[in-house]
Structure 1
Amino acid sequence: MEEADWYFDVVSPFAYLQWKSRARLDGRLRLRPVPIVLGALLTHWGQKGPAEIAPKRLHTYRACQWRATELGVPFRFPPAHPFNPIAALRLIVALDNREDAVDAVFDAAFRDGRDVAAIEVLEEIGRGLRVSDVAGLIGTAEVKQRLRENTETAQARGVFGVPTVALRGELFWGEDATGMLLGFLANPELFQSSEMKALEAIPVGAQRK
């Protein structure tokens, strides 16, 4: 089965929804989880996250809840959002980005609505993953560096948000891009039509100061 890098941050409910509904890829593509820090990504590109824009925040949360129902994915927001995802991301990195680790953290955060920024919650998750000292494991310099390198690599590839699937030199950003990803898998020439190629040459007409 073909594989693609799947860039994500556990703070993203849309990443949770795409991960938990990845069966839609129907055996054609395996997502290889790559944890990155969304906050660093947003700073790099000079953006704000949707939850950082007051009128956009509730709309985004409603969209997540609605989409979860549409997909049939169990969904509950954690007690506060956005939350600090760094420790949870480091736990996944420390466990070599294993799928069961991704599942465990995401399920705690957005299925069960728990605070995965809390070390006691992470310790409980860790016990389920047979980790006896989560605090010690995620505090190592190696783990911190690997997460930093993941994020820097994503930036270098042009990743600007999460979740993003990187496949054959193309980036598919957002849970709502899953349909386009499936279209690309069915037709590798999807972006080679005259209409699609013309999009690459559209000039910038105005820029905000």
Structure 2
Amino acid sequence: MAQIDYYFTTLSPFAYLAGTRLEQVAARQGATITYKPVDLGAVFARTGGTPLGQRSQARIDYRAQELVRQAKKLKMAFNLKPAHWPTNPAPSSYAIIAAQKAGGGDVGVLTHSLMRACWAEEKDIADDAVVKACLEQAGFDPALTESGLLVGAETYAANLEEAVARGVFGAPFYITGDDQRFFGQDRIDDLESHLQEAGR
């Protein structure tokens, strides 16, 4: 069975715009997904990336136009300047890690609902109540916000080291079992094409 390691941050607007297309690809191609939330700021610091506030105005302006264009193209609700961004990505990341370990629900639904809460619903995904609601909607025990703290923190740190070692430099970033790397929500079709070819 094909494997996809998915590196992302819940604060990434481009990861939000991926929607549930990765999950649809995995279902069609018989692939499994391992969700690996990372501290994107730390990834940037170690791979030569530039945080948004330190980019040139030209790059900031282009990003703003591109995000709005992509959201419109994908017919997704999107707020370029959400009320609660940036916020602390750790609580939502820990919840995803704990949910994946616990099982019983849909991690893809959880991941997308957290990003949608930030980018379309004006909610603070560092707020415990918001995270619990997303867990419950995805079929998980909301109490994972407490019980999953330690393993969440440890795995979150390990995901960062692994991401840097494997060549991740942004989000969303997808790596297949045969080490093919795809960066950006606009490369999901290419990822599927590769899985199709590899499966022949």
Q: What is the TM-score normalised by the length of structure 2?
A: 0.78
**1:100 deviation in Å?**
3.2
Q: 1:81 to 1:52 in 2, by over 3 A?
A: farther
1:37 correspondence with 2:33: no
Mark the structure with the bigger radius of gyration.
1
Aligned to 1:27: 28
1:175 correspondence with 2:176: no
Out of 80, 89, 103, which is 2:93 matched to?
A: 89
* Structure 2 alignment gaps of length 5 or more: 102-106
CA contact (8 A) 2:9 2:40 kept: yes
**1:133 deviation in Å?**
6.6
CA contact (8 A) 1:105 1:125 kept: yes
Aligned to 2:162: 153
Partner AA of 1:122 in structure 2: V
Aligned to 2:119: 110
**1:59 deviation in Å?**
2.6
1:121 correspondence with 2:125: no
Q: 1:133 to 1:159 in 2, by over 3 A?
A: closer
User: RMSD of aligned C-alpha atoms?
Assistant: 2.6
2-side partners of 1:51 and 1:73: how far apart?
A: 25
Q: Which moved more, 1:6-15 or 1:105-114?
A: 105-114
Q: What is the TM-score normalised by the length of structure 1?
A: 0.75
2-side partners of 1:21 and 1:123: how far apart?
A: 24
> Structure 2 matches for 1:64-103, cutoff 5 A?
64-77=67-80, 78-96=82-100, 98-103=107-112
Alignment partner of 2:182: what SS? Answer: strand
Alignment partner of 2:18: what SS? Answer: helix
Aligned to 1:130: 141
* Structure 1 alignment gaps of length 5 or more: 189-209
Q: Deviations over 1:147-205 (max 9, x none)?
A: 111111111111111111101112111112224323433445xxxxxxxxxxxxxxxxx
The number of aligned residues is 186
CA contact (8 A) 2:93 2:152 kept: no
Q: 1:141 to 1:8 in 2, by over 3 A?
A: same
